[in-house]
């Protein structure tokens, strides 16, 4: 397959490295020509994955012409750049090209799901297709075992993603529930901030387990309201990604929460991480989506209050604990 991966961050680089181990014609594209030239010269991503050399077959380019005649264009940019990237890609696609994405989150300015953005920018000729699940970029690049979900309403597109990425250290499972896969991948970031806050404040393992479990319940409630399948939300892109990001310090969202729990202010915490932290913006959208759907998401609401209303961490926990008793299966 002829593959282009768009996005020179850690995730895009890792996916391009993995794909280049499976296919002889893979291009990692990025917007900045100087950075692309550096990557090509040094044969590595010195900022995010400095100890990993690129496979011999991986090309790096900032030339828009690399999009031409690609079988698969895989978008791996932060959610804030997703619409702009699709708008740039659309007029450059060949007739047979498949566009898919490995981006997680929602559009923060409009609250739109990524598949809604794709429909607006690419039109009906490109049905939604994405890959998501529990995956840290460095582990993918180092060929540590990983399992992901490829989701699309078009079976040919999930098969395309499987052909592109399934192999060596990675398994790719098919799913037709695009909304459920997107929902799990977006909201787990907010809950990773919550568990990071709890651990940073020293609340212990009991609190972390409770937040993960009740956080999953919040995802499932919203999922039921918007039509996601329950099995998706207990699968790789739901529960799997939730557990990973809530428990491992490779997660930028968890690391941000750890700092907040230790009393660091939000701006300083974001600056220390130095990369996009999707859960910060997603918290705003999640609260708005929950209100629109008439769904209670108290953990997400308290994360939002800590991030945007200056609510002290211990006050947020007190408010969660003092909520009226309820049944677990509601």
The tens digit of pLDDT for each residue in 271-288 reads 999 988 999 999 999 999
Residue 28: which pLDDT band, with cuts at 50, 70 and 90?
very high
Residue 204: which pLDDT band, with cuts at 50, 70 and 90?
very high
The tens digit of pLDDT for each residue in 299-330 reads 999 999 999 999 999 999 999 989 989 989 87
188 is catalytic: yes
Please give the domain boundaries of the chain with CATH numbers for all domains.
2-176 (3.40.50.720), 179-321 (1.10.1040.10)
Question: Can you list the alpha helix ranges (DSSP code H) found in the chain?
Answer: 10-22, 33-42, 82-89, 114-122, 137-141, 155-165, 178-200, 205-226, 230-233, 241-247, 252-261, 266-273, 278-293, 298-308, 313-321
pLDDT at 252 over 90: yes
pLDDT at 104 over 90: yes
Nearest to 195 by CA among 185, 187, 205, 186: 205
The tens digit of pLDDT for each residue in 173-183 reads 999 999 999 99
Residue-level pLDDT at 330 = 72
Half-sphere exposure (CA, 13 Å, Cβ side) for 70?
25
pLDDT at 121 over 80: yes
Prediction pTM value: 0.95
Distance CA 262, CA 200 (A): 5
pLDDT at 168 over 80: yes
What are the DSSP calls for 55-78, one per residue? PTTEEEE--GGGGTT-SEEEE-S-
Pairing of strands 129-132, 146-152: antiparallel
- In whole numbers, what is the pLDDT of the chain averaged over residues? 96
Catalytic residue chosen out of the listed positions 2, 59, 157, 188? 188
Q: Mean of the pLDDT values across residues 91-106?
A: 94
Radius of gyration of the chain (CA): 19
- Please report, rounded to a whole number, the percentage of residues in the chain having pLDDT higher than 70: 100
pLDDT at 69 over 90: no
- 3-class SS of residue 322: coil
Distance CA 10, CA 59 (A): 16
* Strand-pair partners of 28: 5, 60
| Two structure tokens written together for 315 | 């006050």
The tens digit of pLDDT for each residue in 144-161 reads 999 999 999 999 999 999
| Two structure tokens written together for 5 | 């991966």
């Amino acid at each position: 397959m002829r593959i282009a991966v768009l996005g020179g961050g850690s995730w895009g680089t890792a996916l391009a490295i993995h794909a280049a181990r499976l296919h002889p014609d893979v291009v990692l594209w990025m917007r900045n020509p100087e950075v692309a030239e550096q990557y090509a010269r040094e044969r590595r991503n010195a900022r995010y994955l400095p100890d990993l050399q690129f496979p011999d077959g991986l090309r790096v380019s900032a030339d828009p012409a690399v999009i031409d005649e690609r079988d698969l264009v895989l978008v791996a940019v932060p959610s804030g750049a997703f619409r702009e990237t699709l708008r740039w890609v659309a007029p450059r696609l060949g007739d047979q090209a498949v566009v898919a994405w490995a981006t997680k989150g929602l559009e923060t300015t409009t609250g739109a799901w990524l598949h809604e953005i794709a429909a607006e920018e690419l039109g009906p000729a490109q049905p939604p297709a994405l890959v998501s699940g529990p995956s840290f970029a460095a582990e993918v690049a180092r060929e540590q075992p990983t399992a992901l979900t490829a989701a699309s309403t078009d079976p040919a597109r999930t098969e395309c993603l499987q052909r592109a990425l399934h192999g060596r250290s990675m398994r790719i499972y098919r799913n037709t529930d695009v909304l459920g896969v997107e929902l799990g991948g977006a909201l787990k970031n907010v809950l990773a901030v919550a568990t990071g806050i709890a651990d940073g404040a020293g609340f212990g393992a009991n609190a972390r387990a409770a937040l993960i479990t009740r956080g999953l319940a919040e995802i499932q409630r919203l999922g039921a309201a918007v039509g996601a399948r329950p099995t998706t939300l207990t699968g790789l892109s739901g529960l799997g990604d939730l557990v990973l990001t809530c428990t491992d310090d490779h997660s930028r969202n968890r690391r941000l929460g750890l700092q907040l729990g230790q009393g660091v202010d939000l701006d300083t915490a974001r600056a220390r991480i130095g990369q996009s932290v999707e859960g910060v913006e997603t918290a705003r959208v999640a609260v708005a989506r929950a209100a629109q759907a008439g769904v209670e998401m108290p953990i997400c609401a308290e994360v939002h209050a800590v991030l945007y209303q200056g609510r002290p961490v211990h006050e947020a926990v007190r408010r969660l604990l003092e909520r009226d008793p309820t049944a677990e299966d509601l």
